[in-house]
Structure 1
Amino acid sequence: MFRKRRVDKDDPKLESPHSTNLDALHKDIVSLVSNSEDLVLRLLTLQNQRIGIFYFEDLIDTKSLQDSVIKPLEKITDDINFEVIENSIHIAKLTQTNQLDDIINNLVNGTAYIYRERDNLGILADVADKGTRSLEKAETESLVFGPKVSFTESISKNLNLLRSNINDPKLCVETFMIGSRAKKKVQMVYIKDIAEVENVNIFRQRITDLEVDSILDSTILAQMIEDNSYTFFPQLLTTELPDRLSISLLHGKIGLLVDRSPTAIIGPSTFMTFFESTEDIYMRWNMGTFLRFLRLIAIFFSILLTPAYVAVLTYHYEVIPSALLVSLGQSRSNVPFPPMFEALLLEFIIELLRESGARLPTKVGQTMGIVGGIVIGQAAVQAGFTSNILIIIIAISALGSFTAPSYSIGTAVRIIRFPIIVMAGFYGGVGIMFCFCFLLIHLLKITTLGRPYLSPLYPFRFSDLKYSIFRLPYQYLQIRPVTNRTQDKGRIPNKNAVQKKDVDE
C-alpha cells in the first residue's frame, strides 16, 4: 500500500536541476515529502566519493535493491564515473534525470534514486515491491468453458496476459499518468489497423482532459469518462477476463488497463454487450444462442413480473383465469396490506439478504442467503404479511436479475424495478406502459463514446445481430461488427469459408 505524501507542486525547486551536494539534495527531498520518516538515504563511500541511494523502505523490494544495486556498486574496482555506475546496476528499467519532480514522483512509486555527488545526472532504478497476488480464477465472471485466469492488480502482468492472447505487432499500447497528487498509470490498448481512429481519439481526449487528484480503480475511471453520469445503466464494460478483452479488441473495440486494478475497461459497449458472455463463444453456436435468449427473457421477467402482479391485483382482476382466482384469493385472504406495499416489502427484504450475503465472509454469506430466504419467506406467509404466490414471483424476479453476466447491469435492473412497482400500484397497466416507454426513450438517448447505446437494434443493423442476440457458426462470422466501424472489416478472408471439404476431395 502506498502512503499518501503531500508534494508541493508549486515549489520552484521542482522545475530546476537539483543541488549537486548530497546533503543539500537530501534536505530538499525530505522537505518535499513532508519529512516522511520512512525515507531512507543509504550512503556509500567508494574511492573517496560519496554515492547516495534514496528510497522509501516500505515501497521497495529490499532483496532486489541489495542484490541488483548495492552489491554491484560495492564491487566496482575501476575509476568511478556515471557510466560505470549505470553499467554496474543490474536493473532492466533505468532512467537518467536530475529533476526533482521526476525524482519525487518515482520515489513514491517504489523507485530508488542513485546519485554520485557532483554529477550532472542521477539514475532512477525500478526496485518497487509490486505486492501483487498470483494468477487466480475469476471471482465475479465464473465460467464453465474457456480460460479461467483473471487479471491481477499488476498492470504489467495484465498486459503480459493480453499480449500472450494477441501476439500481433499491431497491438498498440499508449501510457498515461493520471492524477495530480497520486499519479496512476493507465494504458490504452487497441489493434491499430482494426480499431476506428475516432474511437481511439475520443478515449485519448477524455483521459488526457481528466483533472483529478487520484484514481483508485478502473471502475472509477469508467464513471469519469462515460457519456452519461446520471443514468443507472453503465456505458463502459468492466471485465476481469483477459480473453474477453482480447475478443473485444479483435472486434474493433478499445481497452483500458489501470495500475493496481484487477479489471479492464472496454468501449464502446452497447446495451446488448452486458448480456453477452465469453462462454457463449466457447460453447456450440446453438447453445450459446439459447443462453443469450434465456438471459434476455429472464431480464424482461425480472423487470415486469412483480409490477404485473401488483397491477393485476389492484386494477385488473378480469385478466386472472378463474381457476387461479380462487387460490389467489385464499392466499391473500389473511394479508392486510395492499399489493404494492406487499411487493415493495418483499423486494426490500430480498435486497437486504443479497447485500448482507455479499458483505459477509463467503461461507457465512451463502448460508445467510439460503437459510435467511427460506426462514423469512415461510415466516412472512404464516404471519400473514404476504402470499405464497408473491413469494414465487419475487424469487423468479430475483433469479432473473442474477442471470446477467455483468454485475453492474444486474444491479441497474434491480433498481429500476422499484419505481415500476410504485407506478403499477397507482396506475395499474397504464403505469407499467408509461414506465416501459420512458425506459425505452431513455435507452434511445444514451450513447457510448458517441455511439447509439441500443445498437444494433437501433439503428437496426441486421448483420450485427449474429454478434449480439444470436451466435451463429464461425463460418458465417466473416465480417467484424459494423457497429464498431472497424478499419479491417474482414475476419475470414476466404469467400468459400462456408464450404467444407473432405481430405480426399
Structure 2
Amino acid sequence: MRRRTNKSKGIFPCQLTELEKKLHEDYFLDSPDLTTKQIDFDNKSCVILYLNHMVRKQYLYNQLIKPIQFSTTASYEQFKRIVPVAGDEALNTLDAIGEELIGGAACVYIEGEDYALTFPVPKLEKRNPERAEAESLIFGPKISFTESLDTNLNIVHWRMDTKTLKVEKFIIGNTVPTEVRLIYLEELANEDNVIEMRRRLEELSVDDIIESSTLTQYIEDNSYTIFPQFLVTELPDRFCYSLKEGKLGLLVDKSPTGIIAPINFLSFFESTEDLYTRWSMGSFIRVMRIVAMFISVVLTPLYVAALTFHYEIIPTALLVSLGHSRSRVPFPPLIEAFVLEILIELVREAGARLPTKVGQTMGIVGGIVIGQAVVQAGFTSNILIIIVALSALASYTAPSYLMGSAIRIIRFPIILLAGMWGFIGIIFSLSFIVIHLIKQRSLNRPYFAPIYPFQPRDVDNSLIRLPFLSSNKRAYSGSPKKITRFKKPNKNKPKDIDE
C-alpha cells in the first residue's frame, strides 16, 4: 500500500537488539512510540515491533501476539499458518520495514533470519459519511465523501456496481507519500484523457500533497489563471454522474473531496440537483445561475462608470435620487465602491471563519449594522449598498465555491477600469476575460466549450437541461467513447383500443 524508497539498508541477519537499535537510530529518532515484544522459544527468539499509536492494540494481541506465543516452533511458515491476518509481506531492508510500521503494520523478526515479516493491523481514525455542507442539496442524495480513501472507494463502488469501473493507484509525495486513485469507466472514458492524466500523476515529483485541491494546482493546465480548471466536489453522486459522462475522477487519501476532469467553464454552474427536479425548473435555475454570475461581475462597475462618466444614461427620476443619496459622500464613486466591496468581503470572511452559529449571526447582524452605520456616516450611498448586496448574493449562486470566489475577485479590476475609462473599461475587461477563457484548457480539452469551439449539440448538457427522453447524447466536448446514452423510444402514436 505504501511506496518503497530507493535506499537499501540491509542488516539481516542480525540480533533482536540490533534491529531495535537500528530502527530507533536511523528511522524513528528514538521515538518512545516504537514498542517491542520479545517471545522466546526453545531454540530461537523472535521480536514483534509496532508503533503504539498506529495499531489496534486489542486486535494486535488477539490475532498476532497470542497465536505466536502459543506456537510450538519459531518459523515464518508456522506463523503464516496460525496468524489470521492477511496481507503479510517479507521485507529485508530497514526502510521498507520502517514504512510499514508507520502505516500501521507490526513487524515480526526471528533472530538469525534473512528477512522480517510484517502484518497490517492499522488503527484508522475516520468519521462516518455525513451530510454535505459546502454543496448542500434540497433533492437527491445527501451523503458526502470523508477523509478515508477506503470509505470513499466503498461509496463509489456502491453507487456504480459495474465491472467496467477501472481504478488505478498512484503514490505521490517524496517526503510524505499519499495514495491517489484514478477512477474512470473503461467503456466511456476517452483513452487520450486517461493517458494524459496518468502521465501528469506519474511525472509529479513533490514532497507531499496536503489535499485534493492542492493536487489540482499541481496538475492543472495553467497554474496562473484565477479560474479553476478541475472540479472539486464533496458529493459522491456528482462524482459518479461525471464518470458516467465519460470523465475521469481522482480520489486522494485523507481528503474529503473528489476531483473531476476534464471540465468546462459552464460545468461550474451545474448541479446534480438540476437532474432531480423537472427539466423546466432545472433549466430555469441553471440559466439563472449564469445570469447571476454576469450580474455579479458587471453591476457594481456599471454604477461606477455611470456616475463617473455617463450621467446621460441614468433616467432623470433616478438621477435625482442618486444625487440626493450621494450628497454627503466625500469620495468619488470608484473609492466608494472599493470601500464597500472590501467591507462586504470582510464580513463574509469573518462569518465563514467563526463557529457556525456565531458566523450566521455575524453575517446578518454585522452586515445590517455596519451597512447602516456606513450610510449614516456618509461614507457611501444607500443605492450602492443595494447594488453591492445584490452582487454578493449573485456570486453565491454558483454551486462551486472556487468559481464563486473567482467571480468575486475579478470584480475588483473591472471596477478599477470602470472608474478609469467608464464603459470602455468594462468592455475591455469583459473582452479580456472571454479571450482568456477561450485560451484555457482542462486536461488539454477546450475550457470554454461548447461556446468556443461552438457545439450546438451540447446546449442541453450545459446551458439548459432538456427532458431525459430528448437528451440521449453525452457532451461531444468531453470526447467520450460512447456518445449515445440510450436509444430513443419509438414515439409513434399508439393505436386506439378499438382498432
> Could you say which TM-score interval applies, normalised by the shorter chain?
over 0.9
In structure 1, what is the equivalent of residue 62 of structure 2?
67
How far did residue 386 of structure 1 move? 0.7
CA distance in 2, matches of 1:69, 1:498: 66
Over the residues paired in the alignment, what is the CA RMSD in angstroms?
A: 2.0
Cα displacement string for residues 162-221 of structure 1 (whole angstroms, at most 9, x for unaligned residues) = 000101111111111111111111111111111011111111111111111111111110
**Mapping of 1:289-304 within 5 angstroms?**
289-304=283-298
CA distance in 1, matches of 2:134, 2:94: 42
CA distance in 1, matches of 2:197, 2:157: 21
Q: Percent sequence identity over matched residues?
A: 48
Contact (CA 8 Å) 1:86, 1:123: kept in 2 or not?
A: no
Instruction: Provide the secondary structure at the position in 2 that maps to 1:42.
Output: strand
In structure 2, what is the equivalent of residue 4 of structure 1?
none
Letter in 2 for 1:146: G
In structure 2, what is the equivalent of residue 3 of structure 1?
none
Worse-superposed segment, 192-201 or 40-49? 40-49
- How many residue pairs match? The answer is 495
In structure 2, what is the equivalent of residue 124 of structure 1?
118
Contact (CA 8 Å) 1:310, 1:343: kept in 2 or not?
A: yes
Cα displacement string for residues 246-297 of structure 1 (whole angstroms, at most 9, x for unaligned residues) = 0000100111111111011110011111111111111111111111011001
Alpha-carbon distance change, 172 to 318 in structure 1, aligned in 2, over 3 angstroms: same
In structure 1, what is the equivalent of residue 483 of structure 2?
489
How far did residue 11 of structure 1 move? 5.3
Contact (CA 8 Å) 2:74, 2:110: kept in 1 or not?
A: no
Letter in 2 for 1:68: Q
Q: Answer yes or no: is 1:57 the counterpart of 2:52.
A: yes
CA distance in 2, matches of 1:500, 1:375: 63
Instruction: Provide the secondary structure at the position in 1 that maps to 2:181.
Output: strand
Instruction: Provide the secondary structure at the position in 2 that maps to 1:256.
Output: strand
Identify unmatched segments of 5+ residues in structure 2: none
How far did residue 120 of structure 1 move? 3.7
How far did residue 359 of structure 1 move? 0.8
Instruction: Provide the secondary structure at the position in 2 that maps to 1:233.
Output: coil
CA distance in 2, matches of 1:283, 1:309: 36
Instruction: Provide the secondary structure at the position in 2 that maps to 1:124.
Output: strand
**Mapping of 1:345-424 within 5 angstroms?**
345-424=339-418
Letter in 2 for 1:132: K
In structure 1, what is the equivalent of residue 243 of structure 2?
249
Q: Answer yes or no: is 1:40 the counterpart of 2:54.
A: no
Normalising by the residue count of structure 1, what TM-score does the alignment of the two structures yield?
Answer: 0.94
CA distance in 1, matches of 2:42, 2:230: 58
Instruction: Provide the secondary structure at the position in 1 that maps to 2:224.
Output: coil
How far did residue 121 of structure 1 move? 3.7
Q: Answer yes or no: is 1:175 the counterpart of 2:169.
A: yes
**Mapping of 1:421-440 within 5 angstroms?**
421-440=415-434
CA distance in 2, matches of 1:503, 1:205: 60
Normalising by the residue count of structure 2, what TM-score does the alignment of the two structures yield?
Answer: 0.95
Identify unmatched segments of 5+ residues in structure 1: 1-6
Q: Answer yes or no: is 1:103 the counterpart of 2:97.
A: yes
CA distance in 2, matches of 1:400, 1:229: 26
How far did residue 67 of structure 1 move? 2.3
How far did residue 307 of structure 1 move? 0.2
Q: Answer yes or no: is 1:323 the counterpart of 2:317.
A: yes
Alpha-carbon distance change, 110 to 427 in structure 1, aligned in 2, over 3 angstroms: same
CA distance in 2, matches of 1:467, 1:248: 12
